[in-house]
Amino acid sequence: DPLAALVADLPACELHVHLEGTLEPELLLELAARNGVELATRTVEEVRATHVFDSLASFLAVYYPAMDVLQTRRDFTDLATAYLTRAAAQDVRRAEVFFDPQAHTSRGVPFEVVVEGLLEAVERAPHELGVDAALIMCFLRDHPVVSAEETLTASLPYADRILGVGLDSDERGHPPADFAAVFARAREAGYRLTVHCDIDQPGTLEHLRQALEDVRVDRIDHGTNIVEAPELLALAVERGLGFTSCPLSNGFVTEQMKAPEIVALLRAGAKVCVNGDDPAYFGGYLKENLLALARVADLSPADVVQLARNSFEASWAPPERVAEHL
Ligand code: HPA
Ligand code: ZN
């Protein structure tokens, strides 16, 4: 199978993966045992049986409670190391990975424990795994804006070790413009900016407009609904903005991978790339996503190579590092 062979050998960047969404059932159970956390599920099969989603909200209702097992600095290091090890095995050369500090600080885990635990893994990855890694701190849009402000303030001592900020969680009723001031402060602190514009959410085109015009993002996560707004798409293409698509995730959160929309972005010259999102929950890491999309959309080998190229061009790596891979 030539397509599978091409994907199997193709280096790429991962730009949209939530570290908490890489918590595999095996590690979940191991951390629960280590920390004495009582879970309702006792086996890998029982954990997997809870992975039934038909919307973003139904996914988040499983995603957040699982995080209770993450308590110590070592837990966060182990989580990130497990992901980066898998990334290395999938020829991921660079990973710009999300984490959700408020999902931990809101249950009493100090910000420093989370960040220092993750940084330990991220800063070892280039030497030990050959993966250039960086952190993107996401604000939870369904928490108060003041909580995002506090999270940004807590991050400032680490500003030179955190690459960017993002916006995730339940999008309904939580437009990017609500966070424009926090994002402006984040930019002042040297962070790059990205925002989730999840698939088919209420108000999605207005959210895309706000992300582009009010927040002035440096990238968009998901965002495939932009194909419905040609003038916004033209603006994004003109700015060379990256779009981080996640086909398998789309297939859970809606009923389709949104392959035609992803292909439309590719044809329009947008820097769209393929990513894992929450691979422990949605059934595949980067390569499984790329191959699934390639098959459903009947992509040519050149299209698949272009998606991988786009992942480097949409990354926030220094230009000379990007050039090494193209
Ligand atoms: N969308 C919104 N919030 C999230 C996601 C996502 O895909 N994954 C983890 N938190
Ligand atoms: Zn996401």
Q: Which pLDDT tens digit goes with each residue over 277-303?
A: 999 999 999 999 999 999 999 999 999
Q: Which domains does the chain have, with CATH numbers?
A: 2-325 (3.20.20.140)
Q: Residue of the nearest CA to atom 7 in ligand 1?
A: 277
Distance from residue 253's CA to the centre of ligand 1 (Å): 10
Summarize pLDDT for 25-41 with one digit per residue, the tens: 999 999 999 999 999 99
pLDDT for 326 equals 78
Is pLDDT above 90 for 199? yes
Supply the residue whose CA is at minimum distance from atom 10 of ligand 1.
169
Q: Is 196 annotated as a binding residue?
A: yes
104 marked as part of a ligand binding site = no
What's the chain's Rg over C-alpha atoms? 18
- Nearest Cα residue to atom 2 of ligand 1: 169
- Percent above pLDDT 70 for the chain: 100
Rounded to the nearest angstrom, the distance between the alpha carbon of 103 and the centre of ligand 2 is 14
Ligand 1 atom closest to the Cα of residue 253 is 7
Give per-residue burial for 64-74: e unless 16+ CB within 10 Å, then b: bebbbbbbebe
300: alpha, beta or left? (left if phi > 0; alpha if psi -120 to 50): beta
- How far is residue 62's CA from residue 52's CA, in Å, rounded to a whole number? 9
The verdict on the CB of residue 22 being under 6 Å from ligand 1 is no
Contact yes or no for 266/245 (Cβ under 8 A)? no
Ligand 1 pocket, residue 104 CB under 6 Å: no
Residue type, 112: E
Q: How far apart are CA 135 and CA 291, in angstroms?
A: 26
Question: Is 149's pLDDT higher than 90?
Answer: yes
The Cα–Cα gap between 114 and 103 comes to 10
* Contact of 138 with 99, CB cutoff 8 Å: yes
Assess whether pLDDT exceeds 90 at residue 51.
yes
